Amino acid sequence: MTAFHDPRAGLSQDQLDAYWMPFTANRQFKRDPRMLVAADGHYYTDAEGRRIFDGLCGLWTCGLGHAHPAITAAISQQVTTLDYSPAFQFGQPKAFELAHRVTEFMPTGLNRVFFTGSGSESVDSALKIARAYWRKQGRAEKTRMVGRAKGYHGVNYGGISVGGLPANRVLYGQGIEAVHLPHTQLPGMEFSRGMPEQGAELADRLLDIITIYDASTIAAVIVEPMSGSAGVIVPPMGYLQKLRDICTQHDILLIFDEVITGYGRMGARTGAEAFDVVPDLMTTAKQLTNGAVPMGAVIARQDIYDCFMEEGGPDYMLELPHGYTYSAHPLACAAGLATLGVLENEQIIKRVATIAPLFEEAVHSLRGLPLITDIRNYGLAAGYSIEHAPGEPALRPYQIAMAMWRRGFYVRYGGDTIQLAMPFTVTQDEIDSVINALGESISAVAAGTEEV
């Protein structure tokens, strides 16, 4: 491991400038870089040799911790055996093994797996499958998608269209045809622990959308069972079931975007399992390979897959002309098999469910501190809403996250929220230290004593 004792890791300004960083304030970063050079278990090492607790598991990806020996060994072995193979018209065994393994994590009935390279690709693949499915059924007019305000479904055109972030429309303009349900952050439900008691009736807004547009024009509803990127918005009790019922009654496909909630973070194999509602299609990524190699997967109900097979024409023809150069990449498949193996063999998901109440207790202990207007949690995820600085909703979360970084903790700041995602094997001491540091950081920003 290289310790540079230099926050810029020895990089020249030209090197810093050459990289257009994603979802990053490039100008600010390049003035004052936060450079990670190594990772092990629950900690990063930064370029100055400091240990940094990973309070978001990378980007909700690395629940099993970094450099997990079983996952690194599987990838190392795979790269020397079969480093790449074409996924179109040819197969490699691990793709099939992993597809089958994924189905073991799914609710009954979701048992056909389409691999992608990321969450965004999973979302756009699922939207295409939904539209194509209706066309195969002779219902080509079912094209409209229903998303939800504050929803995040990645960065491709389908995903930003169904996503509920206004900035995307301001910057990128027209997307695909989509309308939006309201989000479920109801006033009066602040500081709910787990699922809020009120708000199921917000699902009835789907009936309003059906009244306006008619179900005959609607292909699918897509929601995150628990919104992660918007700041951990947990579904109100009964809400997802209502969405399920309305979709079933009106012949609309229900897609759960489980890119964050899939494979353990909820203390269940999926959000669908945690909230006991089964979608027709599910999108996953991130934790599927513990973040070690990019990969996503769309999981479909068998009859959706069967419909493509039955309506596929002569059997030498493609049933779904869609896929990616890196679909079912052998290294990703090896990482995925190792990850799902560890989740199951070490009973990690049970462990998540066991420590989730301790995490909840710690997370809510900050209630009453200045600036905190709401705290939400489920499984090993938590979100804090931070009172807006005048005209600048995103400023204080940024200041708080930087105060955390100075204290040796990486957490996510997004919009007016701070977000936490603990490693699945987090200890009580680690939970206490991240929450103490967060309390100190928020208090310091509130008092104006933290340098920015």
Ligand X SMILES: Cc1ncc(COP(=O)(O)O)c(C=O)c1O
Q: Which of 260, 332, 342, 446 binds ligand X (CB under 6 A)?
A: 260
Question: Given the rule CB under 6 A, which of 132-140, 205-213, 223-231, 314-322 is the region that contacts ligand X?
Answer: 223-231
Order of all β-strands in the sheet with 296-301 = 110-116, 296-301, 281-284, 253-257, 218-223, 144-148, 178-181
Helix 119-136 vs helix 302-310: angle between axes, to the nearest 10 degrees?
Answer: 60
CA dist 153 and 174 (Å) reads 16
| Binding status of residue 337 toward ligand X by CB under 6 A | no
Quick note: the x/- pattern for ligand X over 85-104, rule CB under 6 A, is --------------------
Q: Which of residues 150-169 bind ligand X (CB under 6 A)?
A: 152-154
| Binding status of residue 232 toward ligand X by CB under 6 A | no
Q: Which of 46, 54, 124, 224 binds ligand X (CB under 6 A)?
A: 224
Nearest to 238 by CA among 203, 273, 266: 203
Q: Would you say 120 and 128 are in contact if contact means Cβ atoms under 8 Å apart?
A: no
Using CB atoms within 10 A of its CB, is residue 247 exposed (0-12), middle (13-18) or buried (19+)? buried
Radius of gyration of the chain from its Cα atoms, rounded to whole angstroms: 22
What minimum distance in Å lies between the beta carbon of 286 and ligand X?
6
What minimum distance in Å lies between the beta carbon of 219 and ligand X?
18
400, amino acid identity:
I
Nearest to 258 by CA among 236, 275, 239, 241: 275
Q: Give the residue with the Cβ less far from ligand X, 224 or 416.
A: 224
Bridge partner list, 382: 377, 420
Q: Would you say 204 and 247 are in contact if contact means Cβ atoms under 8 Å apart?
A: no
Show the tokens assigned to 444. 């310091």
Nearest to 290 by CA among 73, 46, 20: 73
Q: Which of 259, 278, 426, 437 binds ligand X (CB under 6 A)?
A: 259
Q: Which helix (H) or strand (E) holds 282?
A: strand 281-284
Q: Give the residue with the Cβ less far from ligand X, 122 or 399.
A: 122
What minimum distance in Å lies between the beta carbon of 370 and ligand X?
29
Q: Give the residue with the Cβ less far from ligand X, 215 or 384.
A: 384
Q: Would you say 383 and 375 are in contact if contact means Cβ atoms under 8 Å apart?
A: yes
| Binding status of residue 417 toward ligand X by CB under 6 A | no
What minimum distance in Å lies between the beta carbon of 293 and ligand X?
12
| Binding status of residue 229 toward ligand X by CB under 6 A | yes
Question: Given the rule CB under 6 A, which of 132-140, 148-156, 202-210, 340-348 is the region that contacts ligand X?
Answer: 148-156
CA dist 95 and 100 (Å) reads 9
Query: Could you give the 3-state DSSP secondary structure of residue 401?
Result: helix
| Binding status of residue 257 toward ligand X by CB under 6 A | yes
Q: Which of residues 14-73 bind ligand X (CB under 6 A)?
A: none
Q: Which of 92, 118, 184, 185 binds ligand X (CB under 6 A)?
A: 118
| Binding status of residue 123 toward ligand X by CB under 6 A | yes
Q: Which of 55, 164, 228, 330 binds ligand X (CB under 6 A)?
A: 228
Q: Which of 285, 307, 348, 372 binds ligand X (CB under 6 A)?
A: 285
Q: Give the residue with the Cβ less far from ligand X, 61 or 441.
A: 61
Positions in the binding site for ligand X (CB under 6 A): 118-120, 123, 152-154, 224, 228-229, 257, 259-260, 285
